[in-house]
Amino acid sequence: MPAELFVYGTLHPERAPEEIAAAVGKLRPVGQGTIRGKLYDLGEFPAVVVNGGRGQKVSGSVFALPDDPETLASLDDYEEFSPSDPTNSLFVRSKRMVTLADGRRRLCWVYVYNKELPKAG
Protein backbone atom coordinates (compact mmCIF):
# COMPACT_ATOMS: atom_id res chain seq x y z
CA MET A 1 0.00 0.00 0.00
CA PRO A 2 1.44 3.41 -0.91
CA ALA A 3 2.02 6.02 1.76
CA GLU A 4 -0.92 8.38 2.25
CA LEU A 5 -1.16 12.07 3.05
CA PHE A 6 -3.94 13.87 4.94
CA VAL A 7 -4.51 17.29 3.38
CA TYR A 8 -6.48 20.11 5.01
CA GLY A 9 -5.36 23.24 3.18
CA THR A 10 -3.24 24.47 0.31
CA LEU A 11 -1.91 21.02 -0.59
CA HIS A 12 -5.36 20.04 -1.85
CA PRO A 13 -5.31 19.81 -5.66
CA GLU A 14 -8.26 22.22 -5.92
CA ARG A 15 -6.48 24.88 -3.82
CA ALA A 16 -2.79 24.34 -4.59
CA PRO A 17 -0.83 27.44 -5.60
CA GLU A 18 1.08 27.29 -8.86
CA GLU A 19 4.43 26.69 -7.14
CA ILE A 20 3.29 23.29 -5.79
CA ALA A 21 0.56 22.36 -8.29
CA ALA A 22 2.73 19.92 -10.31
CA ALA A 23 3.63 17.87 -7.22
CA VAL A 24 0.10 17.95 -5.83
CA GLY A 25 -1.22 16.85 -9.22
CA LYS A 26 0.53 13.50 -8.70
CA LEU A 27 -1.54 12.68 -5.59
CA ARG A 28 -4.32 10.11 -6.02
CA PRO A 29 -7.58 10.63 -4.07
CA VAL A 30 -8.48 8.07 -1.42
CA GLY A 31 -11.39 9.78 0.37
CA GLN A 32 -12.53 12.27 2.96
CA GLY A 33 -11.38 11.96 6.56
CA THR A 34 -10.81 13.60 9.92
CA ILE A 35 -7.99 13.82 12.44
CA ARG A 36 -8.01 14.92 16.05
CA GLY A 37 -6.66 18.43 16.34
CA LYS A 38 -7.49 22.07 15.84
CA LEU A 39 -7.35 24.06 12.62
CA TYR A 40 -6.09 27.64 12.69
CA ASP A 41 -6.33 30.27 9.96
CA LEU A 42 -2.95 32.01 9.92
CA GLY A 43 -3.85 34.31 7.04
CA GLU A 44 -1.56 33.01 4.29
CA PHE A 45 -2.26 29.39 5.14
CA PRO A 46 -4.14 27.12 7.53
CA ALA A 47 -2.32 25.18 10.24
CA VAL A 48 -3.23 22.08 12.24
CA VAL A 49 -2.12 21.67 15.84
CA VAL A 50 -2.62 18.26 17.40
CA ASN A 51 -1.68 18.95 21.04
CA GLY A 52 -4.63 19.17 23.38
CA GLY A 53 -8.07 19.93 22.03
CA ARG A 54 -9.57 16.56 22.86
CA GLY A 55 -12.75 15.97 20.93
CA GLN A 56 -11.88 18.52 18.25
CA LYS A 57 -11.65 17.24 14.70
CA VAL A 58 -10.19 18.64 11.51
CA SER A 59 -11.76 17.61 8.21
CA GLY A 60 -9.71 17.02 5.11
CA SER A 61 -8.90 14.65 2.29
CA VAL A 62 -6.63 11.63 2.10
CA PHE A 63 -4.42 11.12 -0.94
CA ALA A 64 -2.09 8.28 -1.92
CA LEU A 65 1.45 9.48 -2.58
CA PRO A 66 3.17 8.34 -5.74
CA ASP A 67 6.13 5.99 -5.46
CA ASP A 68 8.38 8.93 -6.21
CA PRO A 69 10.61 10.49 -3.53
CA GLU A 70 10.79 13.80 -5.44
CA THR A 71 7.08 14.46 -4.87
CA LEU A 72 7.37 14.12 -1.10
CA ALA A 73 10.56 16.22 -1.13
CA SER A 74 8.69 18.95 -3.05
CA LEU A 75 5.85 18.88 -0.52
CA ASP A 76 8.35 19.05 2.35
CA ASP A 77 10.04 22.06 0.74
CA TYR A 78 6.73 23.83 0.24
CA GLU A 79 5.72 23.22 3.87
CA GLU A 80 9.19 24.33 5.05
CA PHE A 81 9.84 20.96 6.66
CA SER A 82 13.45 19.83 6.88
CA PRO A 83 13.70 16.15 7.92
CA SER A 84 17.25 16.84 9.11
CA ASP A 85 16.16 19.83 11.24
CA PRO A 86 12.56 19.33 12.40
CA THR A 87 12.97 21.67 15.39
CA ASN A 88 13.44 24.69 13.13
CA SER A 89 10.87 23.64 10.52
CA LEU A 90 7.65 25.61 10.02
CA PHE A 91 5.68 22.36 9.73
CA VAL A 92 6.63 18.83 10.73
CA ARG A 93 5.47 15.87 8.68
CA SER A 94 4.30 13.19 11.10
CA LYS A 95 2.15 10.06 11.01
CA ARG A 96 -1.32 10.53 12.48
CA MET A 97 -4.39 8.34 12.64
CA VAL A 98 -7.06 9.48 10.17
CA THR A 99 -10.65 8.26 10.27
CA LEU A 100 -12.12 7.98 6.79
CA ALA A 101 -15.76 8.86 6.10
CA ASP A 102 -16.66 5.14 5.96
CA GLY A 103 -15.16 4.55 9.43
CA ARG A 104 -11.91 2.89 8.31
CA ARG A 105 -8.79 4.22 10.02
CA ARG A 106 -5.47 4.88 8.28
CA LEU A 107 -2.07 6.05 9.46
CA CYS A 108 -1.26 9.00 7.18
CA TRP A 109 1.36 11.69 6.88
CA VAL A 110 0.11 15.09 8.08
CA TYR A 111 1.89 18.43 8.08
CA VAL A 112 1.50 19.73 11.66
CA TYR A 113 2.29 23.34 12.54
CA ASN A 114 5.55 23.54 14.47
CA LYS A 115 5.75 27.14 15.69
CA GLU A 116 4.09 29.15 18.42
CA LEU A 117 0.64 30.30 17.44
CA PRO A 118 0.11 34.06 17.19
CA LYS A 119 -1.62 35.57 20.20
CA ALA A 120 -5.26 36.48 19.62
CA GLY A 121 -5.55 40.19 19.71
Residue 85 lies in a domain: yes
Tell me the CATH number at 85: 3.10.490.10
* pLDDT for res 2: 79
- Which residues of the chain are under the pLDDT cut of 70? 1, 52-54, 120-121
Which positions ≥6 away from 31 have C-beta within 8 Å? 61, 62, 100, 101, 102
Residue 120 lies in a domain: no
Residue 121 lies in a domain: no
Residue 92 lies in a domain: yes
pTM of the model as a whole: 0.92
- Number of domains forming the structure of the chain: 1
Residue 119 lies in a domain: no
Q: How do residues 90-111 score in pLDDT, each as one tens digit?
A: 999 999 999 999 999 999 999 9
Which positions ≥6 away from 46 have C-beta within 8 Å? 8, 9, 10, 39, 40
Residue 86 lies in a domain: yes
The whole domain housing 44 covers 4-113
